[in-house]
Each structure stands twice: as structure tokens, then as C-alpha cells.
Chains A and B, each alone.
Chain A
């Protein structure tokens, strides 16, 4: 089991990811793309019109993907590297990018699953390089100012509850 480590996204990574997701969206004909962490937190999205509830989507997709990996182990398969759900109007495709990052793609009838898979696989290879450079770095700590400000915000948020 891998050691637990943080995931920190810097400006350069986010710019590269946003550019790549936008290109992938255009060439694959997909409607919505999101990069999320394997612990269920959204990193960035690409969409023009369709905006699902991203926090819930990230949480459910990450959990579903994690469950799929466990299914693979139970079936003595090394790993299932993607998750695919086919709907009447919309399809969901989840692929592992790195140990800590997943790529969600949704697409409708206007494109083909083979096309989405082909371009997604190419994009994953590029995305992997963007993240693998930095995943081994130590997570920088937030400063003491952040801690005291957050403490006051927590008191405020929960005081009227």
C-alpha cells in the first residue's frame, strides 16, 4: 500500500491541465471533463455549457473507481484502469492518470466511445507527465497566519449553527 502523501497543484500544472482538457474536449467531442484526486476532491474542470454538481460527482466517481479496483483484486486481475457507464443520453468515462489523480469525461450521442477512448488515452499520457514531476515533492505547509485565520472562520461558521 502506498504511503500517504499530499497533492499540491501549482500554477504551471493547472495551466497545462486546463489547456489539455480544453483540447481533449474539442477533439473528442465530449461535454464535460474533470480532473479529480483519488480521494474524491476536484482539481479542475473543462465545460462550456454542461455543469454537473462537481463536488458530489468527484466524490462518487473516486469512490466508484476505488471500488472497481478492489473488484479487480478480488477477481485476480491486476487492475481495471478505467470505469465506463453507458446511459441513454450521456456516458461517463473515468480513467486513472496517476496514483493520486483521475480523469472524468462525459459525452453524449454526438461522438463515439472509441474516439473518446483513443484521445483520452493520449491525453492521459501527457497528464501523467505533468503530475509525476511533482507528486514526489513534499507538501508545503500552510503558514501560521492561515491557521489562526482559519480557526476564526471555523468559530464563525459553527457559532450560529
Chain B
């Protein structure tokens, strides 16, 4: 559940981009940082290795402005995708309100996608989350590449929750804001 500060008239939601290594989580956040109104965003914080792979997380706060007198913010996080960083992923998932699962559409990345997807549910169940109260969207990324699964096939493989699916290319920006828009509306609906 979000942090609701009635006294300060603030409400904060936490949204996490999840997915296997190199699927495009950081690229999503970087695109949002570049394109959104600068007045609506805070500083982009990245804890990455020297090779610019996410070591712990990326963090980008977005301010929606005052809604019914409440200053409303979305805090966007990514997790490190590589399988051996699971301890870090669990920490980033603490207190999450909404999840964007970024799937890599390339045929060669099928095993990594499935492994990451199962790992997500393991971690959520492990921290006692009530999954019905979480917003969840699947982004089918890298649609601009060749040798990719069809959206229908990926949907059948990964979407057992019948969640919204958005085809995307985080490099070009296609689908990036559409994904974020859906998850932001979902997190608010889940607390209304």
C-alpha cells in the first residue's frame, strides 16, 4: 500500500520495473527521464556497475501534482536483472504498489524471461504480498527487432494473470508512456 501522509497532504506510490538482464528496464526509465516535463521529475539515480549494468536499482521520482489537494507522486524503480542479484531485487520490491514486467521479445531470451517471471512471483509471495492489491502490467519490449516472438505467443507464455499487455520499443520510446500510464492508473484504482 502507498505512503499516505494526510497531514502533509501527500501520497506516494512505488512502481517497480522487473525483468531479466538487458530486457530494457533502465532504458524505459531513461526515456521517461528524457521526455517528461522536467518540472514533473526529480533526479535520476542509478546504482550501476562500470559497464553500466544495474547493480542495485535506478530511481526516478515523478510528481503528478496536486490531485484533490493531495500532492501525488510515483517513485519509479528498476531491479537488477541478472539472476545472481536476487537479494537486491527482493529489497527493491519492499513496499511495491505496482509492477511493470518488461519482457524481452527476442526468441533467444525466452528462458531468461520465464525465469525472471517466476522469480518475480516467488519474491512477491515470499514477502507476503496480497497480489490482488498490486497493479501489474506486462510490457513486450524490443518489438523493433527481428526474430521475436509474436505478442500473442508471449502473452500465452507469460501472462497467466490476464494483465494488460503493451507492445513496446524502449529505445525508440514506443509504448513506454502507455505502459506507465496503465500502471499508474491501476495503482490508484487499487487504493480507491
Contacts and interface: CB of A to CB of B under 8 A. Distances in A.
Interface of A: 1-15, 37-41, 43-44, 53, 55-56, 59-60, 63, 66-67, 70, 139-147, 149-151, 153-155, 157-158, 160-161
Interface residues of B, number: 55
Interface string B64-95: 11011010110101000000000110011011
Interface in B138-188: 177, 180-181, 184-185, 188
B139 to A, nearest CB: 15
A160 B37 contact: yes
Nearest to A144: B192
What are the nearest 4 A-B pairs in CB distance?
A39-B95, A6-B1, A14-B7, A147-B192
Contacts of A4: 1, 95, 127-130, 133
B48 interface: no
Contact of A146 (B68, B87, B127): B68
A154 B70 contact: no
Contacts, number: 154
Interface of B: 1-8, 11-12, 14, 32, 35-37, 40, 42-43, 45, 56-57, 59, 61-62, 64-65, 67-68, 70, 72-73, 75, 77, 87-88, 91-92, 94-96, 126-130, 133, 177, 180-181, 184-185, 188-189, 191-192
A1 B7 contact: no
A63 B78 CA distance: 13
Nearest to B90: A70
B14 A53 contact: no
Contact of A1 (B2, B8, B128): B128
A9 B94 contact: no
Given A41-B3, A153-B67, A55 B95 contact: no
B56 to A, nearest CB: 7
Nearest to A9: B5
Given A38-B95, A158-B181, A160-B37, 17 more contacts: A4-B1, A11-B7, A38-B94, A39-B96, A53-B43, A63-B57, A139-B4, A142-B4, A142-B11, A146-B192, A149-B68, A153-B67, A154-B64, A154-B181, A154-B185, A157-B65, A161-B177
